[in-house]
Structure 1
Amino acid sequence: MIDVILPDLPERTLSLLSEETPRPAVPALTGRIVLGGPVSVPVTEELVGRDPDLSAFLAAEAHSADFHLLHCAVTCARDAPEPELHTINLDLTLSAEPVREGATAFQPVAWSMTPRQRTGETADTALSPAAHLGPRLGFLDGGRADPGARICLEARRELRSDPGWEIRHTQAARIGGTYRLAMVVRAPRGAVTRAAVAVGATVRDGHTLHRFREEIADPLPLIAPR
Protein backbone atom coordinates (compact mmCIF):
# COMPACT_ATOMS: atom_id res chain seq x y z
CA MET A 1 0.00 0.00 0.00
CA ILE A 2 1.10 3.58 -0.65
CA ASP A 3 -0.29 6.93 0.42
CA VAL A 4 -0.72 9.47 -2.38
CA ILE A 5 -1.01 13.14 -1.42
CA LEU A 6 -3.78 14.63 -3.54
CA PRO A 7 -2.99 17.95 -5.25
CA ASP A 8 -4.63 21.30 -4.57
CA LEU A 9 -7.56 22.00 -6.85
CA PRO A 10 -8.54 25.09 -8.83
CA GLU A 11 -12.14 26.00 -8.02
CA ARG A 12 -15.04 27.40 -10.00
CA THR A 13 -18.47 28.45 -8.79
CA LEU A 14 -21.16 26.81 -10.90
CA SER A 15 -24.37 28.17 -12.36
CA LEU A 16 -26.56 25.16 -13.12
CA LEU A 17 -29.40 25.63 -15.59
CA SER A 18 -32.83 24.14 -15.12
CA GLU A 19 -33.51 20.92 -17.03
CA GLU A 20 -37.22 21.70 -17.04
CA THR A 21 -39.21 22.92 -20.03
CA PRO A 22 -39.73 25.79 -20.47
CA ARG A 23 -36.35 26.57 -18.86
CA PRO A 24 -37.09 30.26 -18.01
CA ALA A 25 -39.77 29.09 -15.56
CA VAL A 26 -37.06 28.21 -13.00
CA PRO A 27 -34.03 30.47 -12.40
CA ALA A 28 -30.52 29.02 -12.60
CA LEU A 29 -29.00 27.47 -9.48
CA THR A 30 -26.14 29.93 -9.03
CA GLY A 31 -23.51 30.14 -6.32
CA ARG A 32 -24.65 27.04 -4.41
CA ILE A 33 -22.07 24.54 -5.69
CA VAL A 34 -18.31 24.96 -6.15
CA LEU A 35 -16.41 22.44 -8.28
CA GLY A 36 -12.78 21.75 -7.47
CA GLY A 37 -10.72 20.40 -10.36
CA PRO A 38 -10.66 18.00 -11.98
CA VAL A 39 -6.89 17.48 -11.84
CA SER A 40 -5.09 14.40 -13.17
CA VAL A 41 -1.59 13.03 -12.64
CA PRO A 42 -0.16 9.90 -14.28
CA VAL A 43 0.48 6.83 -12.12
CA THR A 44 4.17 6.21 -12.73
CA GLU A 45 6.86 3.85 -11.50
CA GLU A 46 8.21 6.77 -9.48
CA LEU A 47 4.84 7.13 -7.74
CA VAL A 48 4.37 3.43 -6.85
CA GLY A 49 7.99 2.32 -6.63
CA ARG A 50 7.90 2.08 -2.84
CA ASP A 51 5.51 -0.87 -3.14
CA PRO A 52 6.95 -3.85 -5.08
CA ASP A 53 3.53 -5.37 -5.77
CA LEU A 54 2.18 -2.14 -7.27
CA SER A 55 5.37 -1.70 -9.24
CA ALA A 56 5.03 -5.22 -10.65
CA PHE A 57 1.36 -4.63 -11.54
CA LEU A 58 2.19 -1.39 -13.36
CA ALA A 59 4.99 -3.14 -15.29
CA ALA A 60 2.65 -5.99 -16.31
CA GLU A 61 0.11 -3.49 -17.67
CA ALA A 62 2.67 -1.22 -19.34
CA HIS A 63 2.37 -2.79 -22.81
CA SER A 64 -1.34 -2.01 -23.12
CA ALA A 65 -2.52 0.53 -20.54
CA ASP A 66 -1.71 3.78 -18.77
CA PHE A 67 -3.15 4.70 -15.38
CA HIS A 68 -4.09 8.15 -14.12
CA LEU A 69 -5.08 9.46 -10.69
CA LEU A 70 -7.97 11.89 -11.16
CA HIS A 71 -9.07 14.12 -8.28
CA CYS A 72 -12.02 16.50 -7.95
CA ALA A 73 -14.20 17.96 -5.20
CA VAL A 74 -17.67 19.37 -4.63
CA THR A 75 -18.21 22.08 -2.02
CA CYS A 76 -21.59 23.31 -0.76
CA ALA A 77 -22.32 25.82 2.00
CA ARG A 78 -23.65 24.21 5.17
CA ASP A 79 -25.96 27.18 5.84
CA ALA A 80 -27.25 27.52 2.26
CA PRO A 81 -30.61 29.25 1.75
CA GLU A 82 -33.82 27.48 0.83
CA PRO A 83 -34.72 25.53 -1.19
CA GLU A 84 -32.34 22.91 0.15
CA LEU A 85 -30.19 20.70 -2.02
CA HIS A 86 -31.66 17.21 -2.30
CA THR A 87 -29.04 15.47 -4.48
CA ILE A 88 -25.85 16.37 -6.33
CA ASN A 89 -24.41 14.23 -9.11
CA LEU A 90 -20.87 14.55 -10.43
CA ASP A 91 -20.69 12.63 -13.71
CA LEU A 92 -17.63 11.93 -15.85
CA THR A 93 -17.42 10.69 -19.42
CA LEU A 94 -14.08 9.04 -20.26
CA SER A 95 -13.06 8.78 -23.91
CA ALA A 96 -9.97 7.81 -25.91
CA GLU A 97 -8.87 8.42 -29.48
CA PRO A 98 -6.00 6.57 -31.20
CA VAL A 99 -3.10 8.81 -32.17
CA ARG A 100 -2.46 6.83 -35.38
CA GLU A 101 -4.94 6.34 -38.20
CA GLY A 102 -6.22 2.79 -38.28
CA ALA A 103 -5.18 2.05 -34.70
CA THR A 104 -7.75 0.90 -32.17
CA ALA A 105 -8.17 1.81 -28.53
CA PHE A 106 -10.36 0.31 -25.82
CA GLN A 107 -12.50 2.69 -23.84
CA PRO A 108 -10.95 4.01 -20.62
CA VAL A 109 -12.71 3.08 -17.38
CA ALA A 110 -12.83 4.09 -13.74
CA TRP A 111 -10.55 1.33 -12.46
CA SER A 112 -11.11 2.25 -8.81
CA MET A 113 -13.06 5.00 -7.03
CA THR A 114 -13.08 6.56 -3.57
CA PRO A 115 -15.14 7.10 -1.50
CA ARG A 116 -17.30 4.14 -2.47
CA GLN A 117 -20.03 4.71 0.09
CA ARG A 118 -20.48 6.98 3.10
CA THR A 119 -23.23 7.34 5.67
CA GLY A 120 -24.12 10.40 7.75
CA GLU A 121 -21.71 9.27 10.45
CA THR A 122 -18.74 9.20 8.07
CA ALA A 123 -19.56 11.96 5.57
CA ASP A 124 -17.19 14.53 7.08
CA THR A 125 -14.26 12.20 6.46
CA ALA A 126 -15.24 11.49 2.86
CA LEU A 127 -11.65 11.66 1.71
CA SER A 128 -8.53 12.86 3.50
CA PRO A 129 -5.75 14.72 1.68
CA ALA A 130 -4.01 11.34 1.28
CA ALA A 131 -5.51 8.52 -0.78
CA HIS A 132 -4.50 4.94 0.04
CA LEU A 133 -3.71 2.74 -2.96
CA GLY A 134 -3.52 -1.00 -2.42
CA PRO A 135 -3.19 -4.10 -4.61
CA ARG A 136 -3.78 -3.63 -8.36
CA LEU A 137 -4.17 0.15 -7.82
CA GLY A 138 -7.40 -0.24 -5.88
CA PHE A 139 -8.33 2.33 -3.24
CA LEU A 140 -8.47 1.18 0.38
CA ASP A 141 -11.25 3.25 1.92
CA GLY A 142 -13.38 0.92 4.02
CA GLY A 143 -15.59 -0.32 1.20
CA ARG A 144 -19.35 -0.57 1.45
CA ALA A 145 -21.57 0.74 4.23
CA ASP A 146 -23.54 -1.62 6.45
CA PRO A 147 -26.78 -2.99 4.96
CA GLY A 148 -29.72 -0.75 5.79
CA ALA A 149 -27.58 2.34 6.41
CA ARG A 150 -28.72 5.59 4.81
CA ILE A 151 -26.15 6.36 2.13
CA CYS A 152 -25.31 10.06 1.70
CA LEU A 153 -22.38 9.65 -0.72
CA GLU A 154 -21.94 6.85 -3.23
CA ALA A 155 -19.62 6.05 -6.15
CA ARG A 156 -21.51 4.84 -9.20
CA ARG A 157 -20.64 2.92 -12.36
CA GLU A 158 -17.16 1.80 -11.38
CA LEU A 159 -15.33 -0.11 -14.16
CA ARG A 160 -17.29 1.83 -16.78
CA SER A 161 -16.56 4.85 -18.98
CA ASP A 162 -19.36 6.92 -17.41
CA PRO A 163 -18.49 6.88 -13.68
CA GLY A 164 -19.61 9.39 -11.09
CA TRP A 165 -20.71 10.06 -7.53
CA GLU A 166 -24.07 10.92 -6.01
CA ILE A 167 -24.39 13.04 -2.85
CA ARG A 168 -27.76 12.73 -1.11
CA HIS A 169 -29.64 14.62 1.58
CA THR A 170 -30.67 12.22 4.36
CA GLN A 171 -32.20 12.61 7.79
CA ALA A 172 -28.77 11.96 9.28
CA ALA A 173 -26.78 14.29 7.00
CA ARG A 174 -27.73 17.39 5.05
CA ILE A 175 -25.64 18.27 2.02
CA GLY A 176 -22.87 20.65 3.03
CA GLY A 177 -19.11 20.99 3.28
CA THR A 178 -16.47 19.64 0.91
CA TYR A 179 -16.62 16.17 -0.65
CA ARG A 180 -13.22 15.12 -2.01
CA LEU A 181 -13.43 12.47 -4.72
CA ALA A 182 -10.78 10.48 -6.57
CA MET A 183 -10.51 7.69 -9.11
CA VAL A 184 -7.86 5.70 -10.89
CA VAL A 185 -8.49 5.69 -14.64
CA ARG A 186 -7.24 2.81 -16.80
CA ALA A 187 -6.70 4.13 -20.32
CA PRO A 188 -5.31 2.64 -23.54
CA ARG A 189 -1.61 3.20 -23.95
CA GLY A 190 -0.67 5.61 -26.71
CA ALA A 191 -4.17 7.09 -27.07
CA VAL A 192 -5.46 10.61 -26.40
CA THR A 193 -7.64 10.22 -23.32
CA ARG A 194 -10.02 12.85 -21.98
CA ALA A 195 -12.43 13.23 -19.06
CA ALA A 196 -15.55 15.35 -19.54
CA VAL A 197 -17.32 16.53 -16.38
CA ALA A 198 -20.92 17.49 -15.68
CA VAL A 199 -22.60 18.43 -12.41
CA GLY A 200 -26.30 17.90 -11.76
CA ALA A 201 -28.42 18.83 -8.76
CA THR A 202 -31.97 18.61 -7.52
CA VAL A 203 -33.57 20.96 -5.01
CA ARG A 204 -36.76 20.27 -3.09
CA ASP A 205 -39.40 22.98 -3.09
CA GLY A 206 -42.20 21.61 -0.95
CA HIS A 207 -43.11 18.30 -2.57
CA THR A 208 -41.58 19.27 -5.92
CA LEU A 209 -38.06 18.42 -7.12
CA HIS A 210 -36.39 20.78 -9.59
CA ARG A 211 -33.47 19.47 -11.67
CA PHE A 212 -30.43 21.47 -12.78
CA ARG A 213 -27.25 20.65 -14.69
CA GLU A 214 -24.04 22.22 -15.97
CA GLU A 215 -21.66 20.69 -18.51
CA ILE A 216 -18.07 21.79 -17.89
CA ALA A 217 -16.45 23.09 -21.07
CA ASP A 218 -13.17 21.64 -22.35
CA PRO A 219 -12.72 18.01 -21.21
CA LEU A 220 -9.60 17.37 -19.15
CA PRO A 221 -6.77 15.65 -21.08
CA LEU A 222 -5.16 12.79 -19.16
CA ILE A 223 -1.47 13.13 -19.94
CA ALA A 224 0.50 9.88 -19.99
CA PRO A 225 4.17 9.81 -18.94
CA ARG A 226 6.70 9.90 -21.75
Structure 2
Amino acid sequence: MDRKTRTYRKGAVIYRDRMIPRGTSTEHLLEEDGPTDWLHMDPWRVLRIQSEFVEGFDALAELGPAVAVFGSARTKPEDPYYKAAERMGALLAQNGIATITGGGPGIMEAANRGATLNNGVSVGLGIELPHEQGLNEWVNLAMNFRYFFVRKTMFVKYSQGAIVCPGGMGTLDELFELLTLHQTHKVDRTPVVLYGSEYWSGLQDWLRDTVLASGNIDDLSFVMTDDPEEAVNIAASEIYGAPLE
Protein backbone atom coordinates (compact mmCIF):
# COMPACT_ATOMS: atom_id res chain seq x y z
CA MET A 1 0.00 0.00 0.00
CA ASP A 2 1.45 3.36 -1.04
CA ARG A 3 1.51 6.01 1.60
CA LYS A 4 1.60 9.69 0.99
CA THR A 5 4.61 11.38 2.55
CA ARG A 6 5.76 14.92 2.72
CA THR A 7 8.97 15.47 0.78
CA TYR A 8 11.44 18.34 0.99
CA ARG A 9 14.42 18.77 -1.30
CA LYS A 10 17.50 20.67 -0.15
CA GLY A 11 19.97 20.70 -3.01
CA ALA A 12 20.82 17.10 -3.78
CA VAL A 13 19.40 15.86 -0.46
CA ILE A 14 15.82 14.60 -0.03
CA TYR A 15 14.10 14.74 3.36
CA ARG A 16 10.82 13.03 4.29
CA ASP A 17 8.47 13.03 7.25
CA ARG A 18 10.20 13.76 10.54
CA MET A 19 13.53 14.48 8.82
CA ILE A 20 12.20 17.58 7.07
CA PRO A 21 14.05 20.67 8.39
CA ARG A 22 11.96 23.19 10.26
CA GLY A 23 13.25 26.11 8.23
CA THR A 24 14.51 26.68 4.72
CA SER A 25 18.05 27.59 3.75
CA THR A 26 16.91 31.08 2.80
CA GLU A 27 15.23 31.57 6.16
CA HIS A 28 18.42 30.61 7.97
CA LEU A 29 20.49 32.87 5.73
CA LEU A 30 18.31 35.89 6.45
CA GLU A 31 17.93 35.36 10.20
CA GLU A 32 19.09 38.40 12.13
CA ASP A 33 19.67 36.91 15.57
CA GLY A 34 20.07 33.21 14.85
CA PRO A 35 22.66 31.00 16.58
CA THR A 36 26.30 31.39 15.49
CA ASP A 37 27.53 27.88 16.26
CA TRP A 38 27.94 27.29 12.52
CA LEU A 39 30.98 29.58 12.59
CA HIS A 40 32.87 26.87 14.47
CA MET A 41 31.70 23.84 12.52
CA ASP A 42 33.77 21.87 9.99
CA PRO A 43 31.72 22.82 6.88
CA TRP A 44 32.43 26.49 7.56
CA ARG A 45 36.12 25.74 8.19
CA VAL A 46 36.26 24.07 4.78
CA LEU A 47 35.09 27.32 3.21
CA ARG A 48 37.71 29.28 5.14
CA ILE A 49 40.39 26.87 3.97
CA GLN A 50 39.14 27.15 0.40
CA SER A 51 39.19 30.94 0.58
CA GLU A 52 42.81 30.90 1.77
CA PHE A 53 43.82 28.72 -1.17
CA VAL A 54 41.95 30.97 -3.61
CA GLU A 55 43.46 34.16 -2.17
CA GLY A 56 46.94 32.65 -2.15
CA PHE A 57 46.73 31.41 -5.73
CA ASP A 58 45.33 34.76 -6.83
CA ALA A 59 48.07 36.78 -5.12
CA LEU A 60 51.02 34.62 -6.22
CA ALA A 61 50.03 33.26 -9.63
CA GLU A 62 52.05 35.91 -11.50
CA LEU A 63 54.96 36.04 -9.06
CA GLY A 64 57.52 34.62 -11.48
CA PRO A 65 60.74 32.86 -10.46
CA ALA A 66 61.19 32.70 -6.69
CA VAL A 67 63.31 31.11 -3.96
CA ALA A 68 62.14 30.52 -0.39
CA VAL A 69 64.43 31.44 2.49
CA PHE A 70 63.64 29.80 5.84
CA GLY A 71 65.19 30.41 9.24
CA SER A 72 64.73 31.46 12.83
CA ALA A 73 62.59 34.42 13.87
CA ARG A 74 64.95 34.88 16.85
CA THR A 75 68.12 35.71 14.92
CA LYS A 76 69.37 39.22 15.77
CA PRO A 77 70.59 41.79 13.18
CA GLU A 78 74.16 41.58 14.49
CA ASP A 79 74.26 37.80 13.96
CA PRO A 80 76.38 36.60 10.99
CA TYR A 81 73.45 34.42 9.87
CA TYR A 82 71.25 37.53 9.64
CA LYS A 83 73.82 39.26 7.47
CA ALA A 84 74.14 36.16 5.27
CA ALA A 85 70.37 35.96 4.77
CA GLU A 86 70.30 39.64 3.85
CA ARG A 87 72.98 38.96 1.26
CA MET A 88 70.91 36.10 -0.14
CA GLY A 89 67.87 38.34 -0.58
CA ALA A 90 70.03 40.93 -2.31
CA LEU A 91 71.54 38.39 -4.71
CA LEU A 92 68.13 36.98 -5.60
CA ALA A 93 66.74 40.46 -6.31
CA GLN A 94 69.75 41.39 -8.45
CA ASN A 95 69.03 38.35 -10.60
CA GLY A 96 65.30 39.02 -10.99
CA ILE A 97 64.21 36.32 -8.53
CA ALA A 98 61.62 36.92 -5.84
CA THR A 99 62.42 36.14 -2.22
CA ILE A 100 59.71 34.31 -0.24
CA THR A 101 59.88 34.07 3.55
CA GLY A 102 57.51 33.52 6.43
CA GLY A 103 57.34 37.29 6.79
CA GLY A 104 58.48 37.42 10.41
CA PRO A 105 61.57 38.83 12.15
CA GLY A 106 65.07 37.34 12.27
CA ILE A 107 66.29 35.44 9.22
CA MET A 108 63.02 36.15 7.42
CA GLU A 109 63.37 39.88 7.95
CA ALA A 110 66.98 39.78 6.79
CA ALA A 111 66.17 38.07 3.48
CA ASN A 112 63.20 40.39 2.86
CA ARG A 113 65.37 43.39 3.69
CA GLY A 114 68.06 42.36 1.21
CA ALA A 115 65.46 41.87 -1.52
CA THR A 116 63.67 45.18 -0.92
CA LEU A 117 66.86 47.25 -0.69
CA ASN A 118 67.80 45.88 -4.10
CA ASN A 119 64.45 46.71 -5.68
CA GLY A 120 63.30 43.09 -5.67
CA VAL A 121 60.04 41.30 -5.00
CA SER A 122 59.95 40.57 -1.27
CA VAL A 123 57.16 38.19 -0.26
CA GLY A 124 56.04 37.44 3.30
CA LEU A 125 53.68 34.53 3.98
CA GLY A 126 52.73 35.02 7.61
CA ILE A 127 50.81 32.75 9.96
CA GLU A 128 48.25 33.52 12.66
CA LEU A 129 49.87 32.61 16.00
CA PRO A 130 48.92 33.12 19.67
CA HIS A 131 52.12 35.13 20.18
CA GLU A 132 51.61 37.48 17.25
CA GLN A 133 54.86 38.38 15.46
CA GLY A 134 53.49 40.53 12.68
CA LEU A 135 54.97 41.02 9.24
CA ASN A 136 58.35 42.68 9.01
CA GLU A 137 58.61 46.10 7.39
CA TRP A 138 60.65 44.84 4.41
CA VAL A 139 57.87 42.79 2.84
CA ASN A 140 56.27 44.34 -0.24
CA LEU A 141 53.83 41.51 -1.01
CA ALA A 142 52.22 39.92 2.03
CA MET A 143 49.59 37.40 3.06
CA ASN A 144 48.62 36.13 6.48
CA PHE A 145 47.28 32.58 6.83
CA ARG A 146 45.20 30.79 9.46
CA TYR A 147 46.36 27.30 8.46
CA PHE A 148 49.93 26.03 8.31
CA PHE A 149 49.17 23.50 5.57
CA VAL A 150 47.77 26.19 3.23
CA ARG A 151 50.80 28.37 3.86
CA LYS A 152 53.19 25.48 3.19
CA THR A 153 51.39 24.74 -0.07
CA MET A 154 52.12 28.32 -1.20
CA PHE A 155 55.81 27.96 -0.32
CA VAL A 156 56.13 24.74 -2.31
CA LYS A 157 53.98 25.77 -5.27
CA TYR A 158 55.54 29.17 -5.92
CA SER A 159 59.24 28.66 -5.16
CA GLN A 160 61.70 26.86 -7.40
CA GLY A 161 64.30 26.40 -4.69
CA ALA A 162 64.81 26.77 -0.95
CA ILE A 163 67.58 27.95 1.35
CA VAL A 164 67.24 26.76 4.94
CA CYS A 165 69.16 28.86 7.44
CA PRO A 166 69.53 27.93 11.13
CA GLY A 167 66.17 27.82 12.85
CA GLY A 168 63.87 25.98 15.21
CA MET A 169 60.76 23.84 14.96
CA GLY A 170 59.10 25.90 12.23
CA THR A 171 62.23 25.80 10.12
CA LEU A 172 62.60 22.05 10.63
CA ASP A 173 58.95 21.58 9.71
CA GLU A 174 59.45 23.38 6.40
CA LEU A 175 62.68 21.50 5.72
CA PHE A 176 61.22 18.04 6.30
CA GLU A 177 58.06 18.91 4.39
CA LEU A 178 60.23 19.57 1.33
CA LEU A 179 62.38 16.48 1.88
CA THR A 180 59.29 14.31 2.31
CA LEU A 181 57.78 15.62 -0.93
CA HIS A 182 61.07 14.86 -2.69
CA GLN A 183 61.33 11.39 -1.23
CA THR A 184 57.75 10.50 -2.17
CA HIS A 185 58.09 12.03 -5.67
CA LYS A 186 55.22 14.42 -5.07
CA VAL A 187 57.27 17.31 -6.47
CA ASP A 188 60.17 17.69 -8.85
CA ARG A 189 63.62 17.88 -7.32
CA THR A 190 63.45 21.44 -6.04
CA PRO A 191 66.98 22.33 -4.85
CA VAL A 192 67.21 22.48 -1.05
CA VAL A 193 70.27 24.11 0.52
CA LEU A 194 71.19 24.00 4.19
CA TYR A 195 73.17 27.14 5.05
CA GLY A 196 75.60 26.88 7.97
CA SER A 197 77.59 23.67 8.33
CA GLU A 198 78.34 24.28 12.02
CA TYR A 199 74.61 24.32 12.72
CA TRP A 200 73.40 21.58 10.35
CA SER A 201 76.28 19.08 10.23
CA GLY A 202 74.98 17.05 13.19
CA LEU A 203 71.62 16.60 11.48
CA GLN A 204 73.29 15.72 8.19
CA ASP A 205 75.53 13.15 9.89
CA TRP A 206 72.58 11.49 11.65
CA LEU A 207 70.49 11.36 8.48
CA ARG A 208 73.41 9.88 6.51
CA ASP A 209 74.91 7.52 9.09
CA THR A 210 71.70 6.32 10.75
CA VAL A 211 68.60 6.94 8.65
CA LEU A 212 70.13 6.45 5.20
CA ALA A 213 72.39 3.63 6.39
CA SER A 214 69.33 1.83 7.77
CA GLY A 215 67.65 2.01 4.39
CA ASN A 216 64.82 4.20 5.64
CA ILE A 217 65.43 6.91 3.02
CA ASP A 218 66.78 6.79 -0.52
CA ASP A 219 69.22 9.68 -0.35
CA LEU A 220 69.96 13.06 1.19
CA SER A 221 67.89 15.47 -0.88
CA PHE A 222 69.88 18.56 0.05
CA VAL A 223 73.33 20.13 -0.08
CA MET A 224 75.11 22.16 2.59
CA THR A 225 77.23 25.28 2.26
CA ASP A 226 78.70 28.19 4.22
CA ASP A 227 78.74 30.59 1.27
CA PRO A 228 75.67 32.82 0.63
CA GLU A 229 76.56 33.10 -3.07
CA GLU A 230 76.79 29.34 -3.46
CA ALA A 231 73.52 28.89 -1.57
CA VAL A 232 71.72 31.22 -3.97
CA ASN A 233 73.36 29.64 -7.01
CA ILE A 234 72.24 26.16 -6.01
CA ALA A 235 68.76 27.18 -4.90
CA ALA A 236 68.17 29.06 -8.16
CA SER A 237 69.79 26.48 -10.42
CA GLU A 238 66.47 25.13 -11.68
CA ILE A 239 65.24 28.61 -12.68
CA TYR A 240 67.83 29.53 -15.31
CA GLY A 241 69.60 26.19 -15.67
CA ALA A 242 72.98 27.86 -15.11
CA PRO A 243 74.91 29.56 -12.31
CA LEU A 244 73.88 33.13 -11.57
CA GLU A 245 76.19 36.01 -12.30
TM-score by length of 2: 0.24
Between Structure 1 and Structure 2, whose CA radius of gyration is higher?
Answer: 2
Comparing both chains, which one has the higher relative contact order based on Cα–Cα distances under 8 Å and sequence gaps of 6 or more?
1
Judging by fraction of residues, say which structure has more helix. Answer: 2
